[in-house]
Amino acid sequence: MSKVLVVLETAGNGVRSTSLPGITCGQQIAKATGGELHLLVLGADPAGAAQAVAAAGYGAKAVHVMASPALEPFTAEAWADAIVHAARTLGATHVGGTATSSLRDALPRAAALLDAPLCPEAVAVKSGDTFTRPVSAGRALLDLKVKGTPIFFTARGTEFEAPAAGAAAPVAAMAAPALNNLGVQVLSIQKTESARPALTEARVIVSGGRGMGSGANFAHLEKLTDALGGALGASRAATDAGMVPADLQVGQTGKIVAPELYIAVAISGAIQHLAGMKGSKVIVAINKDAEAPIFQLADYGLVAKWEDTIPRLTQLVSAHRSA
């Protein structure tokens, strides 16, 4: 019988919402193979988070919890070692999770340690060994069949809905071995403090491109972002030019997002940018060039300069909100 092990990331005493699509992908693999779903919670003291996951159940046979001080702060090396240990202990046939920046780093390492195959960024499950994934910056989809055990996967977060909670699942403690972090040590962490939601979790994103002209001009987009209660994003041209920090970059080599509303301001719509946001439910483009490729994807387009539209739009949104 197949055993599908999905690795979760937690925040405080719960699972991160970004981990939920990985569970759905795991559920689909378990269903396709007639197997069991198992969840894995890792951390220095993840008992509370594991309880919260177990209460929601998600159709899992068990929620495995492995505690070790070596697992926090996150290093891909220690996590990969822990995942390998859990996969072996459980006899997992499939191991994966959402393609977050952490698991994109840890899961391929774990696959390499086990000399096992990996399907990265799956967007659909065709069967227990065949997955669909985008290639060429999303220009094409590829069905990838992999051979070996266990099969590793990462699931693209924007392509799998969050799973519904189900009957509670039991928590099973798994003893942590001495984890090998290959000598890697986290010396310091500089957190970006922001009152705004994380880009990958926001329901509304306002993104600016090179056409914003300067970092100072992004203050106009920040006002609109805050009026909408959203997150600020940017194109790579804007981050490369130093207008805004690199962690705001949306696209093939930045964050993959799928908010309910994505407002692209002064962004031309290069394929690499679209690769990161085309899954958004409603796309609004504001660009002074009527020929800009972003208009081909946008649900609503406004051919205008941002200077003439953003302050007025912000005013209207703020007035509507406070009405």
Ligand X SMILES: Cc1cc2nc3c(=O)[nH]c(=O)nc-3n(C[C@H](O)[C@H](O)[C@H](O)COP(=O)(O)OP(=O)(O)OC[C@H]3O[C@@H](n4cnc5c(N)ncnc54)[C@H](O)[C@@H]3O)c2cc1C
Can you give the binding site for ligand X, defined by CB under 6 A? 209-211, 235-238, 249-254, 266-268, 270, 272-273, 276, 287-289, 292, 305-307
CA 41/CA 16 separation, integer angstroms = 11
> With respect to ligand X, which residue has the nearer C-beta, 210 or 278?
210
CB of 147 to ligand X, least distance (A): 30
CB of 11 to ligand X, least distance (A): 25
What would the two tokens of residue 215 be? 């970092």
Cβ-closest residue to ligand X? 251
> With respect to ligand X, which residue has the nearer C-beta, 163 or 211?
211
* Residue 99 near residue 3 (C-beta atoms within 8 A): no
Long-range own/partner contacts, residues 239-244 (CB < 8 A, 24 or more apart): 241/210, 242/215, 243/208, 243/212, 243/214, 243/215, 243/217, 243/218, 244/208, 244/215, 244/218
CB of 66 to ligand X, least distance (A): 34
> With respect to ligand X, which residue has the nearer C-beta, 249 or 280?
249
CB of 74 to ligand X, least distance (A): 23
What ranges make up the beta strands (E) of 80-160? 94-98, 118-122, 124-127, 130-135, 140-145, 151-155
CB of 245 to ligand X, least distance (A): 14
> With respect to ligand X, which residue has the nearer C-beta, 154 or 287?
287
What would the two tokens of residue 58 be? 């998600």
CA 259/CA 207 separation, integer angstroms = 12
Cα separations in angstroms, 193 against 5, 6, 190, 219, 254:
33, 29, 9, 17, 19
Beta-carbon count within 10 A of 214 CB: 11
What would the two tokens of residue 189 be? 């962490």
Place of tokens 């697992």: 71
CB of 318 to ligand X, least distance (A): 21
> With respect to ligand X, which residue has the nearer C-beta, 55 or 304?
304
> With respect to ligand X, which residue has the nearer C-beta, 23 or 277?
277
CB of 134 to ligand X, least distance (A): 13
Dihedral sign, Cα of residue 259, residue 74, residue 20, residue 96 = positive
> With respect to ligand X, which residue has the nearer C-beta, 68 or 268?
268
> With respect to ligand X, which residue has the nearer C-beta, 230 or 233?
233
Q: What is the DSSP string of 18-34?
A: GGHHHHHHHHHHHHHHT
Sheet architecture: strand order including 124-127: 124-127, 130-135, 140-145
CB of 211 to ligand X, least distance (A): 2
